Homo-oligomer: A and B are copies of this chain.
């Protein structure tokens, strides 16, 4: 049975970037709406991207000694309240369970918006001695934050993420691990998702509720807005003291351990879409694409074509690639548009003439580049082309990032640059929250990060004129 439908149109990103984004999420079948506002359904193709992210990240976590656990999804209100800054930040976004069956609960429980408090309660039970440290835990789960606005992948009331929580014997070790995990995220974004990042520290205003320091990786989307793609927090011993967690150190003293937490979420998928996508749909990084290669037989009714296509598919699967053969009766045009929409990194076309010549054609999704390859060299050629897709995607995104970092020496200039170009605006900064608020107020930008790679642009803060402490990046963020 033929299923002849046209690929539905997606809005051009130049016309309406927001609509383009929503169209891609819906039409590439990544996501569906549920009956609760702000809660989305992860459809098979969207979830498969997340599974690939999970698989790769999880192996990297395990390499640095992280173990997975699973904590309760509910937090008693009294537990959430143990750390003052933390509860202040999260309480307004909590969804509260008040009934169990037909009985009103004595204490209400919130659905976890994050799990520091639960981990701390457990750490108190299981940490006794310095020999129990470091304790490096992670969990893959969903969390819930009752936010007012929502967008697929970028802001869900319920979203999937991982949250790592570790305890260390010393502040130095905990700080080093906070940075190690940030670098792990940064390398993952660049090497796996082809998303270049800026690494830096959040200001006190933007840091995580209850943290001493928050480190971040900030990416630039195609529309030159910023996306916070992952964060890593150093807590010092603040939570440990609030939760009365101590251990016996080597000199037999009871002391407090030092803590970190770090997380990335399905927001990364939003980042992938807005970094790499184009007007034909998704463009997926090969390492996390659910389908890396689609094999399309040309003139498939001709003798031998389907069998040859099947053989190519089997060979590529045996070589470890994720492959789909589409031998449906849909037209070649429909199929090409469909797999472009779905962002499949590489298309293999093989028709009667190709087969006669012992060859097939590889077409890259990211730039449309075609390569004719001899059938006997297929596996090596596919590996090479997938690497070329990754590199091409990375360099294009890197250029978008570096081309759109602008230097400003006054508030007015920062505002003008942002209005004209978008992107990151870098300035010096005195360190005062007041200047951050003023930048937001005047230029509509929040501080994105204080980059690790510092430059000296001026001696003074361009906002207040006081001596400058650091260079900072500003931007309009998702």
Contacts and interface: CB of A to CB of B under 8 A. Distances in A.
Contacts of A67: 44, 47-48
A272 B99 CA distance: 34
A139 to B, nearest CB: 8
A3 interface: yes
Interface in A28-58: 32, 34-36, 39-44, 47-48, 50-51
Contacts of A121: 34-35
Interface string A231-274: 00000000000000000001000000000000000000000000
Contacts of A144: 73-74
A131 B1 contact: yes
A474 interface: no
Contacts of A50: 70
Interface in A63-114: 67-74, 76, 79, 91-102, 108-109, 111
B96 A41 contact: no
Contact of A111 (B34, B111, B160): B111
A118 interface: yes
20 contacts: A3-B129, A34-B72, A34-B118, A34-B122, A35-B76, A40-B72, A41-B71, A41-B118, A43-B126, A70-B160, A73-B111, A73-B158, A95-B97, A95-B101, A96-B98, A96-B99, A97-B98, A97-B111, A98-B98, A99-B108
A108 B142 CA distance: 20
A173 to B, nearest CB: 17
Q: How large is the interface on A (under 10, 10 to 19, 20 to 34, 35 or more residues)?
A: 35 or more
B122 A41 contact: yes
A185 interface: no
Contacts of A357: none
A137 interface: yes
Nearest to A105: B95
A125 interface: yes
A158 B74 contact: yes
A141 B129 CA distance: 34
Contacts of A100: 95-96, 146
A141 B142 CA distance: 9
Q: Which of A43, A93, A97, A146: most chain B CB closer than 10 A?
A: A97
A286 to B, nearest CB: 20
A62 to B, nearest CB: 10
A60 B393 CA distance: 34
B97 A92 contact: no
A48 B68 contact: yes
A36 B74 contact: yes
Contacts of A137: 44
B95 A32 contact: no
Contact of A95 (B39, B79, B99): B99
Contacts of A69: 41-44, 47
Nearest to A157: B100
A126 B42 CA distance: 13
B126 A32 contact: yes
Interface in A1-43: 1, 3, 32, 34-36, 39-43
Nearest to A68: B47
A125 B160 contact: no
